[in-house]
Amino acid sequence: MSVRDELQSLVEKMNTNPEHIENEKDRVYQVNLEESGPLQIVLTSGRVEVVEGTPHEAEVTLFLNEKNFSKLLKDDLNTTMAFMTGGLKVEGKLGLALKLQEIVKLYQ
């Protein structure tokens, strides 16, 4: 399963059972994957969608490779270690990156 398929599977879980995201503010998270470029995770009115490219202004951007993004989606990435070793870079609001990790954890 590709990392994009893993992300789509997570999005489907979130939209099927939106209880953990229905009170979240509208947000745009951007993920720049080393191998395949940018995508955006858009939370709007308790729904999530993934869009290719950068059509929206993101509040936080994560830079990482597909292997680490896959681990993040499975709540299996030690984000502190990845950040310290350069495997994860964050641009923008760091608190939102942590919030994304918290949301992912709730859907595991």
Contact 104, 69 (CB under 8 A): no
CATH code at position 64: 3.30.1050.10
**pTM for this prediction:** 0.92
Q: Would you give per-residue pLDDT tens digits along the chain (108 residues)?
A: 899 999 999 999 999 999 999 999 999 999 999 999 999 999 999 999 999 999 999 999 999 999 999 999 999 999 889 999 999 999 999 999 999 999 999 998
Reduced to 3 states (helix: H, G, I; strand: E, B; else coil), residue 57 is coil
Give Cα separations from 11 to 23, 24, 27, 82, 103 (angstroms): 16, 15, 14, 24, 11
CA 83 to CA 39: how far, in whole Å?
Answer: 20
How many domains does the chain contain in total?
1
Residue 77's domain spans which residues?
3-106
